[in-house]
Chains A and B, each alone.
Chain A
Amino acid sequence: MSLLNFRQEGPPDLVVHSPERAVTRLYEAHALDLVRLALVMVGDRPTAEDVVQDSFLGLYRRWGRLKDTGKALTYLRSSVLNNCRTVLRRRGRRLLGAQDPPAASAESRVLGLEQGKEILDAPRRLPHKQRETLVLRFVLDLSEEETAQIMRVSRGTVRSNTSRGRTALERMLGETP
């Protein structure tokens, strides 16, 4: 079962409500899942909440220009990912680089792997496309098609990023020879 309930679509009557009402209803329905997604991506909760607030704010501002309000949820997911990417870029490579790789000994590595934070640090060091693909596919259990739609890439690109990301993670976590 997926960690997040992203397969649910938004309320069907969004169009008939005012933007405030529609966006608020979307927030009530999906903010929890989106904050969890952002938390996995950026690693700290205040930032994750800010990212999601910004995304809803952006949706609210663009509401009148949305071609299809039924796709508001897809817009939100993409927006959250983009905002997470911006946050990580802002933090900069230096900060990420300052994190030490997993300990060398087998025992300490195993201990480290048991800590969720250690594991989630690894994808945060991947290129953003691989990181987002792995989180959407493996953590959220989204299909290739859904992932492709959110990331605005082809299914082939999703496959390629999945394969490359998985290989890189295996290497970071110490499996590949």
Chain B
Amino acid sequence: MNIERLLKDAAAAETREVTRESLPPLNLPARRRPAGRWTVPVAAVLTVIAVVVVTVTVRGTLRGPEPLGAHDGPAYFLATHREGGAGVFDSWTGRMVADIKPRAGHYAALAVAAGRRTAFLADETGPCSTRIDKVTIRRDGSVASRTTLPGEFGTRVDEMAATANGTRVALVFNNLTGCRGDDVAVVDASSGARRGWRLPPARADSPVQSPVWAADGRTLFFATDAPESPQGDDRGFELRALDTATTGTDLLHARTALGGTAYLTSFRPSPDGRAFRAVEEDTADDGTFRSAAIVELTPPAGGGSGKAPVRTIARMTARQIAPAAPVDFRTTLDATGGHLLVSSRRDRAVFRMDDDGRFRRLPDMHRTDLGLIAW
């Protein structure tokens, strides 16, 4: 499906009848002349802002794929695929170890606990109907058990995050596609007990994204659009910390952990919660992959509302992975923030990179149908 073409054609059809002749005339009010001849001389000094900081860190040219250490990173990752199920894939070779077929519908979101033995899969059984499956994974990547959490959600799940021990899962809902309900819910994996939070109506247009649990299993971090500046300028994301043990259902009561920051994904807090790792994606005009980097943000001392500097830990560039040049790619970090996975549907390729910059292409991965990934 070519989204660009569809939109363009639909817009052309919709606006076909708007012609110059059919437009109403412009009605301007009578303008009051300024009394007196004192016109306001405004000498606007345009400050030229030189913006470009292109930090090209050339660490040697075109390093080829290198072998990673034997025990680096999680052994398996999960990915949804075209048949609607989710596969467990060996994160060294790309070989599919297990295929988890949904009981009904298709899997629309997934999350893996940091302990790497528990995963949650959101089974979208209807337009506004989702059930959550909990899957236990053996050390060899095979599926030991699958249970469905009690109850159903009358909306769509966009993203999920599991606590490190897999006892709770946070769900971020998508209510912009015709469904209604909370914006975020936390569900107890054993009892199915749940609690929901909502954005205030004024912010309902700024969806919650990138949920991730702190190490304490109580604080849930999430990203949302930062409020615009008084001049109406975009300030990027802000990362908020929701204490899920306190009362209240307003998501914006969560404290700001990071102020306006660039659009990053896959936030991962450090064990002490004082820094965050994330993925910075860079694409060309046509959406082609340019690079993906593991970056680190440390909130300024004395409060999280200030802007945190972004430090690049390791970067994987299109040149390095040539000839593959993913157009439709997805990235994710593992729970530690030390390992990055880049999946490209159309290039049949999955790459992984460690935070020391070593990377490799998974040799046995030749699928074009991978969707969401969780590591």
Contact among B15, B44, B177, B234 for A172, CB-based, below 8 A: B177
Provide the B76-88 mask, 1 if CB < 8 A to any CB of A, else 0: 0000111110000
Collect the chain A residues with CB atoms within 8 Å of residue B81's CB.
177
A7 on the B face (CB < 8 A): no
Provide the A97-129 mask, 1 if CB < 8 A to any CB of B, else 0: 111110010000000010011011001011111
B12 on the A face (CB < 8 A): yes
B7-A119 in contact (CB<8A) = yes
B283 on the A face (CB < 8 A): yes
A125-B177 in contact (CB<8A) = yes
Given contacts A39-B15, A128-B205, A156 and B7 within 8 Å (CB-CB): no
B176-A127 in contact (CB<8A) = yes
Contact among A23, A39, A166 for B28, CB-based, below 8 A: A23
Given contacts A101-B127, A101-B128, A127 and B15 within 8 Å (CB-CB): no
Contact among B82, B178, B225, B282 for A127, CB-based, below 8 A: B225
B24 on the A face (CB < 8 A): yes
B53 on the A face (CB < 8 A): no
B46-A68 in contact (CB<8A) = yes
CA distance A79 to B38 in the complex (A): 29
Contact among B12, B23, B84, B107 for A3, CB-based, below 8 A: B12
Contact among A23, A138, A153 for B4, CB-based, below 8 A: A138
Interface set, chain B 86-140, CB cutoff 8 A to A: 106-108, 126-128
A27 on the B face (CB < 8 A): yes
CA distance A131 to B28 in the complex (A): 30
Collect the chain A residues with CB atoms within 8 Å of residue B108's CB.
171
Give chain A nearest CB distance to B103 CB in angstroms: 16
Contact among B10, B42, B126, B174 for A120, CB-based, below 8 A: B10
Given contacts A53-B27, A135-B7, A173-B6, A39 and B14 within 8 Å (CB-CB): yes
Provide the A129-169 mask, 1 if CB < 8 A to any CB of B, else 0: 10000110011000110000001111011011111001011
